[in-house]
């Protein structure tokens, strides 16, 4: 008899209560946040007007400003992004090997590597840039190091995850031939993670081009410096030129990365 | 080394392995394998066959006991000494364990990794004679034209042939094979067994093979070892292996 009475419900009453409580907390947090940012109604109502005004000042862009000032800054931005990405590998690869539990069997070292990777990621590129501007002074060197230190955590974490997912069989087979650990990593692990590594590296380079465009705002070189200058002098037609240049370079980077990735993997 | 004459072949004494303390997987294995010949180990899954094989080249660390290869005890070896010992033992795996994204040639050459420096391996500067030997072995295993193909482009049988070539690339003194045919169809399984036993015989090295298929064990081995519950319960030539032994090894009798 009981068998016929069975009922099925997706959630128990306790789970249902928990879900409603979670929704309630989310709404509460949203209300709190909106009150916190203190939107001034007058500014909100004339925002469309202000935006149109800004666009009118930007149009037409001062394309004559592109050469040489913006062009040189753009090239510098590319250098910062590329060198920064490259430098990040120097730390990211060893840290990833140290963080991957199947490669490095010492739990203490795994935790240390994870901590360093998290530290690198938890600090924004702009904050890294402020630190390195203080160390090296303003300029592209500070930007390059900011990009590198921010990228270590990103590349290292994703590479470590890729390493932990590789098949253990080939590693065991190479160990059985009498190979050293470094041989096993080189010939057993690396070929398995190489596509993931290049995918991550290209993706990070792509992100870094976008990030290095704003580093100039804190004096760390690149196109951000000329952008900051143009904004400070209210030269909105120049600002428009610079924004267009950034847009073009980001799209180009995207195209290059997509093509390269298709070839490498 | 101790008593004058060196004992040739493989001598295992009182080998115990416990993954979890108190629950031994191998309960004191004693086994002597001559310096030549084909030995098949049969037994149900989970009875410690793979563990036994992996204890020999220390992919699994024995809990206690002694494993002597041509006189030298391998159990206490660590670090470099262990790697030098592993170079002398070739191993063939059930899942082939090739590095999928490397070429067949590189997979075969990786059998020499114990002999080449890190930089040479990185730059792929293997010795001329190693490359020549790799080509010979590819010919011997029937893949003369496949050197530059990627391992993941091969069929299961072809992959296992590469696995055999890699193991023989070490010029081992002992060849181990852990279920080398379990992932293959019946015909390929026989071809692989023929190839492996033939090559081990002509290299004059002993072959120890874990195998599920009793018929293959009877057909190719000169000696069959039956394991059950972490112990050896049968040891003799295939002609002596009878239904009563199989009952003891695998339990039950309906399947016979």
**pLDDT digits 0-9 by tens, A73-83:** 899 999 999 99
Task: Kindly list the distances between the CA atom of residue B141 and the CA atoms of A209, B133, B134, B166, B192, in Å, as whole numbers in the listed order.
Answer: 51, 12, 11, 10, 9
Q: Which of A163, A3, A167 is nearest to A96 (CA)?
A: A163
Res. A47: pLDDT tops 90: no
pLDDT at site A29: 94
Provide the pLDDT confidence category of residue B3 given band limits of 50, 70 and 90.
very low
pLDDT at A37: 85
Query: Is residue B196 within a helix (H) or strand (E), and if so which, with residue range?
Result: helix B186-202
Residue A238 has pLDDT above 50, yes or no: yes
Q: Say yes or no for a CB contact (<8 Å) between A177 and B99.
A: no
What is the DSSP-derived secondary structure letter of residue A89? H
Length of chain A: 265
Q: Are strands B174-178 and B10-20 parallel, antiparallel or unpaired?
A: unpaired
With beta carbons under 8 A apart, name residues in chain B contacting A183. Answer: 113-114, 118, 121
pLDDT at B6: 60
Q: Which residues of chain B from 164 to 183 reach within 8 Å of chain A, CB to CB?
A: 166, 170
Distance CA A1, CA A15 (A): 28
State what percent of residues in chain B have pLDDT above 90. Answer: 88
Contacts of A206 (CB under 8 A, 6+ apart): A253, A254, A257
Cβ pair B69, B89 in contact under 8 A: yes
Per-position DSSP letters for B127-146, written without gaps between them: -HHHHHHHHHHHHHTT-TT-
Question: What is the structure's pLDDT at B254?
Answer: 75
Residue ranges of E strands in B22-139: 23-33, 38-42, 64-69, 72-73, 89-92
**Cβ proximity of A73 and A223 under 8 Å:** yes
pLDDT value of position A184: 95
Q: What mean pLDDT do residues B40-67 have? A: 94
Kindly determine whether residue A176 and residue B122, on different chains, have CB atoms separated by under 8 Å. Answer: no
Residue B110 sits at the chain A interface (C-beta within 8 Å): yes
- What is the SS3 assignment for B100? coil
Cβ–Cβ < 8 Å for A147, A215: yes
Q: Is the peptide bond before B55 cis (omega within 30 degrees of 0)?
A: no
**What pLDDT shows up at residue B5?**
53
What CA–CA distance (Å, rounded) separates B99 from B103?
8
Q: Show the DSSP H helices in A100-124 as ranges.
A: 107-122
pLDDT at B113 over 90: yes
Q: Is B106 on the interface with A (CB under 8 A)?
A: yes
Q: Does the pLDDT of residue A218 top 90, yes or no?
A: no
Q: Give me the phi and psi of B52, to 5 degrees please.
A: -60, -50
Nearest one of A23, A6, A204, A197 to A93, comparing CA atoms: A197
**Nearest CA distance, A190 vs chain B (angstrom):** 10
Kindly state the percentage of chain A with pLDDT values over 90. Answer: 55
CB contact under 8 Å between B101 and A169, yes or no, is no
Compute the distance between CA of residue B256 and CA of residue B245 in angstroms, rounded to an integer.
11
Query: Above 90 in pLDDT, residue A68?
Result: no
**Residue A6 banded pLDDT, cuts 50, 70, 90:** confident
How does pLDDT run across A163-174, given as a tens digit for each residue?
Answer: 999 999 999 999
Nearest Cα of chain B lies from the Cα of A262 at a distance, in angstroms, of 16
| Mean pLDDT within A117-131 | 91
Instruction: Kindly state the average pLDDT of the residues B103-131.
Output: 95
> Is the CA virtual torsion A116, A120, A121, A123 positive or negative?
positive
Q: How far is B116 from chain A (nearest CA, A)?
A: 9
A15-34 residues labelled b (16+ CB within 10 A) or e (exposed): eeeeeeeeeeeeeeeeeeee
pLDDT of residue B1: 42
* Rounded Cα distance, B154 and B142, in Å: 13
Task: Write out pLDDT tens, residues B146-189.
Answer: 999 999 999 999 999 999 999 999 999 999 999 999 999 999 99
Q: Whole-angstrom Cα distance, residue A44 to residue A56?
A: 19
Q: Which residues of B touch A178 (CB under 8 A)?
A: 83-88, 113-114, 170
Please indicate if any CB of chain B lies within 8 Å of the CB of A14.
no
- Give me B97's structure tokens: 């364990």
* Order of strands across the sheet that contains B72-73: B23-33, B10-20, B64-69, B72-73
pLDDT(B4) > 90: no
Range A149-161 average pLDDT: 95
Q: How far is A20 from chain B (nearest CA, A)?
A: 46
What span, in angstroms and rounded, lies between the C-alpha atoms of B131 and A138? 55
Token duo for residue A177: 């031939």
Which of A64-78, B102-116, B184-198 has the lowest average pLDDT? A64-78
Q: Is B180 helix (H, G, I), strand (E, B) or coil?
A: coil
Is pLDDT of B53 > 90?
yes
Residue numbers in A near B111 (CB within 8 A):
177
What residues of B are in contact with residue A191 (Cβ under 8 Å)?
Answer: 99-102
- The average pLDDT across B214-237 equals 94
A176 with B85: Cβ contact below 8 A: no
The residue written with tokens 């792929």 in the block is B124
Q: Which two tokens stand for residue A85?
A: 């990405």
Which residues face B42 on adjacent strands?
Answer: B226
- Provide, as residue numbers in chain B, all residues whose Cβ is less than 8 Å from the Cβ of A173: 91, 93, 97-98, 163, 166
The confidence score (pLDDT) of residue A193 equals 95
pLDDT at position A3 is 59
**Cα B69 from Cα B208, distance rounded (Å):** 13
Chain A nearest C-alpha distance from B178 (Å): 11
Strands B64-69, B38-42: pairing kind: unpaired
Q: Which range among A5-9, B107-111, B154-158 shows the weakest confidence by mean pLDDT? A: A5-9
Quote the pLDDT of residue B18: 94
ipTM above 0.90, yes or no: yes
Q: Do B86 and A191 touch (CB under 8 A)?
A: no
How confident is the prediction for chain A on average, in pLDDT? 90
The DSSP call for residue B184 is S
User: Can you give the pLDDT at residue A50?
Assistant: 86
* CA-closest candidate to residue B241, choices B216, B255, B220, B223: B223
Q: Read off the tokens for B118.
A: 């890190």
Of the pLDDT bands very low, low, confident and very high (cuts 50, 70, 90), residue A38 is confident
Residue A25 pLDDT exceeds 60: yes
Q: Determine how many CB atoms are found less than 10 A away from the CB of residue A115.
A: 12
Closest-approach residue (CA) in chain B for A167: B97
pLDDT of residue A7: 77
CB A115 within 8 Å of CB A178: no
Query: Measured between CB atoms, does B85 come within 8 Å of chain A?
Result: yes
Using alpha carbons only, what angle is made at residue A164 by residues A162 and A166, rounded to the nearest 5 degrees?
Answer: 75
Rounded to whole angstroms, the Cα distance separating A261 from A55 reads 37
Q: What percent of chain B has pLDDT over 70?
A: 97
Cα(B7)–Cα(B124) distance, integer angstroms: 38
Name which of B75, B71, B91, B68 is nearest B17 in CA terms.
B75
Q: Provide the angle, in degrees to the nearest 10, between the axes of the packed helices A190-215 and A236-264.
A: 180
A 159-178 residues with CB < 8 A to B: 169-170, 172-178
* A174: chain B residues, CB-CB within 8 Å: 99, 110, 113
When pLDDT is averaged across residues A151-173 and rounded to a whole number, the result is 95
In chain A, the residue whose alpha carbon lies closest to the alpha carbon of B79 is A180
Residue of chain B whose alpha carbon sits nearest to that of A168: B97
B81 at A interface, C-beta within 8 A:
no
Apex CA B233: angle with CA B227 and CA B235, to 5°?
90
């Amino acid at each position: 008899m009981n068998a016929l009475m069975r009922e099925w419900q997706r959630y128990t009453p306790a789970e249902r209560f928990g879900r409603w409580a979670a929704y309630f907390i989310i709404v509460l947090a949203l209300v709190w946040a909106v009150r916190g940012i203190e939107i001034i109604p007058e500014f909100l109502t004339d925002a469309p007007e202000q935006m149109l005004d800004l666009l009118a000042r930007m149009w037409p862009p001062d394309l004559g400003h592109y050469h040489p000032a913006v062009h040189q800054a753009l090239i510098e931005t590319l250098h910062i992004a590329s060198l920064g990405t490259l430098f990040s590998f120097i730390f990211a690869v060893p840290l990833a090997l140290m963080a991957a539990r199947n490669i490095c069997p010492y739990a203490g070292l795994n935790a240390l590597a994870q901590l360093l990777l998290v530290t690198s990621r938890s600090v924004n590129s702009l904050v890294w840039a402020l630190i390195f501007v203080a160390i090296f002074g303003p300029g592209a060197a500070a930007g390059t190091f900011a990009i590198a230190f921010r990228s270590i955590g990103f590349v290292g974490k994703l590479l470590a995850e890729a390493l932990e997912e590789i098949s253990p069989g080939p590693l065991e087979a190479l160990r059985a031939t009498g190979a050293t650990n470094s041989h096993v990593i080189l010939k057993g692990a690396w070929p398995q993670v190489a596509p993931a590594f290049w995918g991550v590296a290209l993706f990070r380079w792509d992100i870094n081009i976008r990030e290095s465009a704003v580093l100039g705002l804190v004096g760390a070189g690149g196109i951000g410096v000329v952008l900051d200058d143009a904004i400070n002098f209210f030269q909105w037609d120049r600002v428009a030129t610079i924004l267009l240049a950034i847009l073009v370079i980001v799209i180009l980077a995207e195209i290059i990365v997509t093509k390269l990735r298709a070839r490498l993997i | 080394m101790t008593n004058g004459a060196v004992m040739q072949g493989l001598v295992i004494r009182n080998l115990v392995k416990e993954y979890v303390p108190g629950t031994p997987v191998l309960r004191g294995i004693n086994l002597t394998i001559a310096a030549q010949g084909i030995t098949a180990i049969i037994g149900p899954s989970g009875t410690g066959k793979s563990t036994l094989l992996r204890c020999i080249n220390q992919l699994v660390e024995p809990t206690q006991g002694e494993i002597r290869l041509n006189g030298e005890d391998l159990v206490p070896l660590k670090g470099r000494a262990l790697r030098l010992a592993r170079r002398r033992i070739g191993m063939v795996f059930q899942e082939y364990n090739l590095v999928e994204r490397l070429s067949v040639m590189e997979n075969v050459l990786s059998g020499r990794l114990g002999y080449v420096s890190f930089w040479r391996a990185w730059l792929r500067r293997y010795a001329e004679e190693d490359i020549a030997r790799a080509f010979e072995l590819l010919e011997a295993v029937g893949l003369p034209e496949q050197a530059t193909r990627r391992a993941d482009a091969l069929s299961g049988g072809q992959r296992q042939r590469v696995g055999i070539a890699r193991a023989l690339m070490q010029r081992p003194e002992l060849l181990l094979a852990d279920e080398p045919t379990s992932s293959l169809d019946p015909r390929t399984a026989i071809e692989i067994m023929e190839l492996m036993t033939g090559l081990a015989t002509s290299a004059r090295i002993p072959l120890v093979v874990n195998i599920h298929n009793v018929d293959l064990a009877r057909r190719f081995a000169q000696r069959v070892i039956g394991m059950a519950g972490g112990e050896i319960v049968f040891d003799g030539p295939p002609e002596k292996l009878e239904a009563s032994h199989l009952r003891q090894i695998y339990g039950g009798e309906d399947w016979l």
